[in-house]
Structure 1
């Protein structure tokens, strides 16, 4: 079944959407950081941590929204899950924020954590991505974010741990991701049988690039606003009463205020 491109732009204001923000944490792929044996000598308890004892440790993902390098909400983490061959959560994480609460410069910061003993965690890596794009649209669909190993995710704007950097934008994986975004937004002809083959080939190309890369990639998915189970709506950042007009006088009128003390002095001089 062929579908023509959809020229309609359907949107909803973020200030009108009083639903909690959800982010889906998908998979983590790539080569993990090699164990630091100097740290193991300093703290022997680390030999029981996942990074030093398991091939596929039970990592956790911590998610938190930042605004201008300051935490904007409390952090939340993924549920505990034991892995065998690959890291795959496939979990929708609910953030303690509503869409109407999000500022324009909100950053989603993700940090990969590993257990390092009783009540302790160690940082595997971090990444960050802005919740709104350059045109003020809330991001939609899946993203493969580059993980910066050994550091926490940075919440400043611009971030120091970008999941989408200038170098990654030149890769085949990012180029195909932009084309998939156009297809999702209805800007391309949709052919069911051809789309299935194409997206399968895109998955193969992405897997190959991830294996060849020296970085780790965390796949996340942003929610999509759907109306009547068919129409997809974009979420546009908007401030309440942001378009309200205010009158400003460029040439203010002078107002004379009488001073009773001066008038009394003048009357005394006149009487004399």
Structure 2
């Protein structure tokens, strides 16, 4: 068995950091009919320029409750693409993080007229929620590609509606070859992302010549998936139609959200030399002398002598402490009421035993009807 080295999260007294790298995606042009119905969309920053000034906020949540205040990226103008390359430090350490901690990241757009979910002149461009610990209770490391849900702010709830990964739907018989091919490309893209992450973490050997071919293939596949025009299936006609035309003529598809624009936010977590495994925070037990009697009584406490314990064969009682490898599977249990008061379970048990015995004696002492008749006959009544 190969040795495995890891560290515990409770011993990591470092602030939580996340790097916001870039935002990739293809935004469809808004149809003229939609602009006529909602002219405020003309003034939204992302609709004016594909490289508009967006900013990102990150906030930690756990059990559907916020753990920290949100932190945001600095103002930055973009020329060719939305790339921040900025580290954000959250005001909390890894040592106090619960297992359910997750990072809610929201990309904010600017609009002078506001809108649904707006905060002053900022409206959500999209949001994503990523847990800090994976399914193996190990801290996330390295680069992550998060799916951005358009026009939604990251909720950070336990049952989040903005997950960072959306698994492809299963193939349906009436979906046609277009949807099947799209799902296959998404699966292949996710598989390549996992391999590239392992390559960055040096978990698989590097081959410069072959790696360049994989990088080129990954870039082409990503561009084709992002720029693929969304398509949806109609249950009435059974034909594939353009999602944009469906939005214009008002004919809804079979599933909502299939025609959503695909945007991915690339972030990066710190890399550590060893995997960080989640561990609960252990607190030392309070001393027995700090126990207060009910009612504030300051009576003198008389400690009972420790009970006599006979150890079985093979148990090393001279070990330095409990839990030693030579001492056997012993567990130390702390009881704050030891030596201060009687055990209520023992008192109740003794009372029940005494009551049971006294009831049996009283029942045996009382004569029944036959014995009562015999006593009357013998006494002459």
After TM superposition, give the deviation of residue 221 of structure 1 in Å.
Answer: 1.0
Deviation at 1:13, TM superposition (A): 0.9
Contact preservation (8 Å) 2:127, 2:162: yes
Residue 115 of structure 1 is matched in structure 2 by 110
- After superposition, what is the alpha-carbon deviation per residue over 1:229-268, rounded to whole angstroms, capped at 9, x for unaligned? xxx21111111228x955399x985127xxxxxxxxxxxx
Q: Is this contact kept in 1: 2:18–2:87, CA < 8 A?
A: yes
Aligned equivalents of 1:15, 1:71: Cα separation in 2: 20
After TM superposition, list the pairs within 5 Å mapping 1:167-206 onto structure 2: 167=168, 171-206=187-222
| Whole-Å separation in 1 of the counterparts to 2:70 and 2:282 | 30
List alignment gaps of at least 5 residues for structure 2. 114-119, 170-182, 230-260, 284-322, 324-330, 336-342, 349-381
Asked if 1:223 corresponds to 2:270, the answer is yes
* 1:26 pairs with one of 21, 24, 34: 21
Taking the aligned partners of 1:238 and 1:117, their CA distance within structure 2 comes to: 47
More deviation in 147-156 or 194-203?
194-203
Name the SS for the 2:46 alignment partner: helix
What are the residue-to-residue correspondences of 1:7-156 with 2, within 5 Å? 8-32=3-27, 37=35, 41=39, 47-117=42-112, 119-156=120-157
- Tell me whether 1:208 sits opposite 2:224 in the alignment: yes
Residue 277 (structure 2) aligns with = 236
Contact 2:96 2:281 (C-alpha < 8 Å) held by counterparts? no
Partners of 1:78 and 1:216 lie apart in 2 by: 19
Bigger Rg, structure 1 or 2: 2
Residues 55 and 209 of structure 1, relative CA distance in 2, 3 Å threshold: closer
Alpha-carbon separation, structure 1, partners of 2:192 and 2:142 = 13
State the distance in 2 between where 1:51 and 1:27 align. Answer: 15
SS in 1 for 2:189: helix
Q: What is the CA distance between 1:209 and its match in structure 2?
A: 2.7
CA contact (8 A) 1:18 1:98 kept: yes
Q: Would you say how many aligned residue pairs link Structure 1 and Structure 2?
A: 240
Q: Distance in 2 between matches of 1:174 and 1:82?
A: 30
TM-aligned CA deviation for residue 117 of structure 1: 3.2
SS at 2:227 equivalent: helix
Change (3 A) 1:237 1:115: same
After superposition, give the CA deviation of every residue in 1:27-80 in whole Å (9 maximum; x if it has no partner): 111123656647854xx6x75541343332101111111112111100011111
C-alpha RMSD of the superposition: 3.1
Q: 1:39, 1:10 → 2: CA distance?
A: 60
Q: Are the equivalent residues in 2 in contact too, given 1:33–1:124 (CA < 8 A)?
A: no
CA distance in 2 between counterparts of 1:197 and 1:75 reads 40
CA distance in 1 between counterparts of 2:209 and 2:144 reads: 24
Match of 1:261 in 2: none
Unmatched 5+ residue regions in structure 1? 1-6, 226-231, 257-272
Q: CA deviation at 1:173?
A: 1.5
1:60 to 1:39, Cα distance in 2 relative to 1, 3 A: farther
Q: Which has the higher strand share?
A: 1
SS state at 1:190 partner:
coil
Q: Deviations over 1:145-199 (max 9, x none)?
A: 1111111112111321111122289621111122234444554333454445434
Query: CA contact under 8 A between 1:33 and 1:149: conserved in structure 2?
Result: no
Which residue of structure 2 lines up, in the alignment, with residue 254 of structure 1?
346
Question: CA separation of 1:246/1:205 partners in 2, compared to 1, >3 Å: closer, same or farther?
Answer: farther
Report if aligned partners of 1:59, 1:114 keep a CA contact under 8 Å in 2.
yes
